[in-house]
Copies of this chain bind each other. A is one copy, B any other.
C-alpha cells in the first residue's frame, strides 16, 4: 500500500524530472512554497529520494535556473552586434518573465552554472564578432550587469495602488508632504494626456528598453571612438 497521489510512481525519478517538477511547482505555488519536502510530496516520494539526483537545495535551484535558460532559444543572427545583443537580451527577458520566481532565483545564485556561463559566452561572442575589443566588451558586460538576464533591479516594487481613486489621491497628498519629488514624477503626465508613459503607472517594457538602449548606445559611441580603459582608468 502506498500513499502516493498518482497511485504508484510510473515514471522513475530522474534529475530532469526533479528539475522540471520543481519549475512547475514554483510556477504554480511560488518559490516560497518550494521546499525539498513539498517537492518530494509532489513527486510522490520521500524527501531523501531527491538527494539521489541533486546534492542539496542550492543545486536544485541552480538546475532550475538552467531549465529556464534552456528555454531562451538560439540567437537569431540579426544585423550588426547591437541588434543581435539587444534581441538576445529581450529574448532572455521573455523567458524569465514566464517564470515569476526566476529573476529572484538568478540573483540569489552564489555562483555561475553551465547554463548561465553559456549564455554569457554567446553574448560576449556577439560583441566580439561586431569588432569590439575584448577590453571594451569586458566593461560593457559589467555595465549591462544583471540586465543581461532581461530584468532590472527595481528601486522597489511599486505598492499596489488602491482601487478607490479617492483613497489614492489622499495617499498621494499625504506622501507629497514628505516626498514631493517622488510624487511629482509618479504623477507627472496625468495632467497632460500627450502619450507620455509617466502617470499611468510604469511601463516595465519601456523602462527596460530605455535603459538597455542608453547603455548600448553609449557602448557603441565608445567603440566608434576607439575607447580603451588604458586611456581612461
Interface residues of A (CB under 8 A from B): 107, 109-112, 114, 116-118, 120-122, 124-125, 128, 133-135, 137-139, 141-143, 145-146, 148, 152-157, 159, 178-182, 184-186, 188-189, 194-198, 202-203, 206-207, 210-211, 214-215, 217-219, 228-230, 233
- Known A-B contacts A181-B125, A219-B214; the reply to A145 vs B154 at CB < 8 A is yes
**B120 A159 Cβ-Cβ under 8 A:** no
Q: B residues within 8 A CB of A180?
A: 121, 125
Interface of A is mostly: helix
User: How far is it, in angstroms, between the C-alpha of A230 and the C-alpha of B118 when the chains are bound?
Assistant: 38
What are the residues of chain B within 8 A of A141 when measuring CB–CB? Answer: 155, 185
Are B107 and A138 in contact (CB-based, < 8 A)? no
Q: How far is A196 from B146 in the complex, measured between Cα atoms in Å?
A: 24
What CA separation (Å) do A134 and B120 show in the bound complex? Answer: 35
30 contacts between A and B (CB under 8 A): A110-B156, A111-B156, A111-B157, A112-B159, A118-B178, A120-B179, A124-B184, A125-B180, A133-B188, A134-B184, A134-B198, A135-B185, A138-B186, A138-B188, A141-B185, A142-B202, A142-B210, A143-B207, A143-B214, A145-B153, A145-B155, A146-B152, A146-B153, A146-B155, A195-B233, A196-B228, A206-B229, A206-B233, A211-B215, A214-B214
10 more A-B residue pairs beyond the given contacts A110-B157, A120-B182, A195-B230, with a C-beta to C-beta distance below 8 A:
A110-B156, A134-B198, A139-B206, A143-B207, A143-B210, A146-B153, A153-B153, A203-B233, A214-B214, A214-B218
